[in-house]
Each structure stands twice: as C-alpha cells, then as structure tokens.
C-alpha cells in the first residue's frame, strides 16, 4: 500500500516545460556570452555574402540561430501533415527528425571548412590518441563534443534499432570517421585526427544518455503498453 505522504514525480507536462525552459535559458546564456563574435559576422550574413558568413565559424553559428524559427516551423508542418494522415507519434517523430538534421549539419559544415591552403598539399593525419587534446583547448573540445550530439540525442528516440549505448557509440564513431576521411580525401588543409573521432563519439554517447528516458520507453500503443527498444512491450503501470 503506497504512502500518501511520499513525494511523487511531477506530471510529465510540467517536467517537459521545465526541461524546455532550462534549454532556452541555456541557449540564451550561450548566445549572450558569444554575442560579440557573432555580431562581427552579422553584416556579411545580412548582406547575403558568402565570404565572411558561411565560410566562418561565427557566421555559421549566427545563421543557425537565426534559422531556429524555420526549424520550428518545419517541425510544426511535418507534425500536422502526419496527424492529418492519421500517423502516430507525429510530434515526436517530426521533432527528432528535424532535430537530427538541424543540430548536425551546421557542425559538419564547420568541420569541413577548408583551412588556409586547401588543395596545395597531401592530407595530414594524426593517429596517436590523446596527443591533439592538449592543443584543442576548452573551446575546441566543447565544439567537438557538439558535432554529433544532436544525432546521438535524437536518433535513438526516432529509431528504436539505435536505442542502445553500443549502437549510439558505433553511430557516432562511424559518422566521425566518415567526416575525418572526407577532410583527408578532399585536401581541405585540415588534420584528420583520431582525437576528433574520440571526442565526437563521446559527445554522441553523452547526448544519447541524456535522452535515455525517451528512447528506453517508446510511444504508447492503444492497448496501454509501451514498445521497448528491442521490440518488447512494457506494461504501463
């Protein structure tokens, strides 16, 4: 018999609003902290110039933030189309799909930006683990953690087949190796480093663990059960 005085978990809508509010506050704080570098790229971006906007880290970050309303509109449109077609979990599926793409493409774009002298020499490779970490610095490490963080967060929620830590690790590592290989093959005057792969993969796994509550319990079915990540069903209490 349950104790009526024992504390209970807050309702799911309250938790969702609280998490969303924390996310918005965190994003606003990050934007405020880097507002000056971002504003340096505002004139060429507003003028629609490629140089100074889409070929700089600050410009890509700025345009990604400016495009957030369009990403929200894409989620809303996909969800309503799916609901009109009678699909299930319309909002969940739409949010995860847009989140994976919108949260990953800008970082991959930055990783594949050419260096000072692209195409003038052979690709450079660093295969000694942990050697490049000391030169990355906090900003470099933080940026590499974010490259596939959105993929690691949303992919196991959207695709039950990926809902396990080893599979998220394999996904992050595979995508990172693919990007580092592209840097080498395209002669972008960037160093293809094993440390980048390690940090990218770590970011994907940490993000996947952060969303574990959602990917361990799939959408509810009409019978009151929930589908697990491996096709099993979990009875709703």
Position 60 confidence tier, pLDDT thresholds 50, 70, 90 = very high
pLDDT at 101 over 50: yes
Position 64 confidence tier, pLDDT thresholds 50, 70, 90 = very high
Q: Considering the chain, what is the average pLDDT of its residues?
A: 83
Residue-by-residue DSSP string for the chain: ---TTS--PPPHHHHHHHHHHHHHHHHHHHHHHTHHHHHHTHHHHHTT-STTTTTSHHHHHHHHHHTHHHHHHHHHHHHHHHHHTT-SSHHHHHHHHHHHHHHHHHHHHHHT---SSTTSS--EEE-STTSSHHHHHHHHHHHHHHTTHHHHHHHHHH-GGG-SHHHHHHHHHHHHHHHHHHHHHTT-S-EEEHHHHHHHHHHHHHHHHHTHHHHSS--B-TTSEEE-TTS-EEE--
> pLDDT tens for residues 67-99?
999 999 999 999 999 999 998 889 999 999 999
pLDDT at 29 over 80: no
> pLDDT tens for residues 116-160?
888 887 888 999 998 998 888 898 999 999 999 999 999 999 999
């Amino acid at each position: 018999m349950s104790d009526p005085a024992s504390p209970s978990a807050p309702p799911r809508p309250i938790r969702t609003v609280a998490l969303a509010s924390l996310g918005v506050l965190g994003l606003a704080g990050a934007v405020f902290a880097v507002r000056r570098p971002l504003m340096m790229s505002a004139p060429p971006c507003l003028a629609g110039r490629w140089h100074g906007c889409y070929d700089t880290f600050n410009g890509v970050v700025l345009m990604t933030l400016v495009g957030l309303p369009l990403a929200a509109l894409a989620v809303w449109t996909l969800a309503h189309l799916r609901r009109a077609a009678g699909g299930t979990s319309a909002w969940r599926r739409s949010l995860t799909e847009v989140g994976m793409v919108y949260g990953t493409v800008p970082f991959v774009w930055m990783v594949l930006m050419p260096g000072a002298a692209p195409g003038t020499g052979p690709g450079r490779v660093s295969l000694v683990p942990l050697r490049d970490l000391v030169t990355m610095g906090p900003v470099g490490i933080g940026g590499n953690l974010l490259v596939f963080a959105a993929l690691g967060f949303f992919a196991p929620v959207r695709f039950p087949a990926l809902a396990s830590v080893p599979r998220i690790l394999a996904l992050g590592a595979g995508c990172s190796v693919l990007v580092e290989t592209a840097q080498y093959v395209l002669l972008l005057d960037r160093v293809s480093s094993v440390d980048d792969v390690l940090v990218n993969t770590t970011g994907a796994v940490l993000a996947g663990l952060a969303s574990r509550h959602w990917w361990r319990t799939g959408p509810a079915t009409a019978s009151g059960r929930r589908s697990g990540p491996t096709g099993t069903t979990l009875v709703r209490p």
